[in-house]
A and B are shown apart, each in its own frame.
Chain A
């Protein structure tokens, strides 16, 4: 008997069978590969954090040891500067917060140590011209100056906006800039290319041809520095009291 491949029942059964087979295949592939790709993602995140504090070009194999050398704890705080989670459980607290999970009541802070000097790394998340942008900013223990930054992006224009990630010199110019003035207003700004005052403590130069991406970076920095302001303020006050 020849099957009638045009009958309704055959069509429905065929579609169902195909979909079930494909679903099983995909589920299988996903569960086999998810371990590896998750590890890759975490490794990449650690690499970005390390890049922000000045350890660029870390080999994949050394990421874990370098990361552990610097990062003491991944805390979670809120925008009032209260520490909600001390982050002692290795990568399970602040580190586990995804970019989309960051809110004013859930702000990750990485507490770091280099040459027995304490400093902090905070995440930055914002919108570029075409898609999301993000970064990490290492802030010195005084809570007021930049130790280093790293930016990355989803889909900024290759060769223009994408330079926020690829142009190391663009990121390096943030080093030692001032974040807040004496009354804790955010003063760090990213100007349009060529407009920044080279002597200024607070101005950085944007990328030529990528003004809109630059605006995104500027807004992102402003927003997140405001969110973390209280934390740095309290932190500095405690330190001065202890001394």
Chain B
């Protein structure tokens, strides 16, 4: 047990959450972070889907890493990720239809998420299944929490709600408050993300 949660493994899991965050530090996976964060709920589901897919694909690739022919390794990684993404989107359609409608094409686009390919190539190809699982979950959560922060701010300021529950009372609107329409545009997500990175860098000095 002690070996499973050794110092090194803890580092593998915790680093991507903060000091080696895929979005904040490596600036990967930006495209989907901009697209699905207009509301909080799709941001959460997207974060979880990416975490699950990243964990599974990391483990699978790590298990078969020694058999993969070097010349087609990227293609094999893609096939594994694509298969997992398709299965997840089918499961969402069958068990969480409303959410799958909301996420529409973005679930399919997880295939092209650079974090996934990056982790498979940089980590799972050279490490064991357990470490790869930790790395996958860590990176997935590191991606997810940024999405949740950006999605939360955008939904609150853009629509006055969180998880579709109205938080800004009607009396505010009657008094002349208006939702910020800019917040619902992807451009604002870019600016917000920039702010998050700015705050993060000013606290974490390398």
Contacts and interface: CB of A to CB of B under 8 A. Distances in A.
Contacts of B69: 5-6, 10-11, 14-15
Contacts of B68: 5, 14
Task: Report whether over half of chain A's contact residues are helix, strand or loop; otherwise say mixed.
Answer: helix
A159 B105 contact: no
Interface residues of B, number: 33
Interface string B37-71: 01100000000000000000000000000111111
Contacts of A22: 79-80, 82-83
Contacts of A33: 90-91, 93-94
Nearest to B98: A44
B60 to A, nearest CB: 11
B74 to A, nearest CB: 12
Most A CB atoms within 10 A — which of B39, B69, B104? B69
A5 B158 CA distance: 54
B94 A26 contact: no
Contact of A158 (B38, B67, B80, B91): B38
A15 B159 CA distance: 48
Interface in A154-173: 154-155, 157-160
B80 to A, nearest CB: 8
Contact of A30 (B39, B80, B90): B90
A37 B79 contact: no
A40 B67 CA distance: 41
A130 to B, nearest CB: 10
A25 interface: yes
A195 interface: no
A24 to B, nearest CB: 10
Interface in A139-157: 154-155, 157
Contact of B87 (A29, A37, A158): A29
Interface string A8-28: 001100110011001001100
A15 B94 contact: no
A100 interface: no
Interface string B85-122: 01100110111010001001100000000000000000
Given A36-B94, A158-B39, A18 B86 contact: no
A41 B159 CA distance: 28
A227 B94 CA distance: 35
A165 B82 CA distance: 31
A209 interface: yes
A36 B158 contact: no
Nearest to B101: A44
A160 B79 contact: no
Contact of A37 (B39, B75, B90, B159): B90
A157 B90 contact: no
B194 interface: no
Contacts of B82: 22
Contacts of A37: 90, 93-94, 97
Interface stretch (B11-19, B129-137, B165-173, B178-186): B178-186
Contacts of A19: 79
A48 B21 CA distance: 42
Interface string A86-118: 000000000000000000000000000000000
A212 to B, nearest CB: 14
27 contacts: A5-B68, A5-B69, A6-B70, A6-B71, A11-B71, A11-B72, A14-B67, A15-B75, A18-B79, A22-B79, A25-B83, A29-B86, A29-B90, A33-B90, A33-B91, A33-B94, A36-B94, A40-B93, A41-B97, A43-B97, A155-B104, A157-B184, A158-B38, A158-B158, A159-B38, A159-B158, A159-B184
7 shortest A-B CB distances, which residue pairs?
Answer: A159-B184, A158-B38, A36-B94, A40-B97, A37-B93, A11-B69, A33-B94
Given A5-B66, A157-B185, A160-B181, 15 more contacts: A5-B67, A11-B71, A14-B68, A14-B72, A18-B76, A18-B79, A29-B86, A33-B90, A33-B93, A155-B104, A158-B38, A159-B183, A159-B184, A160-B184, A209-B181
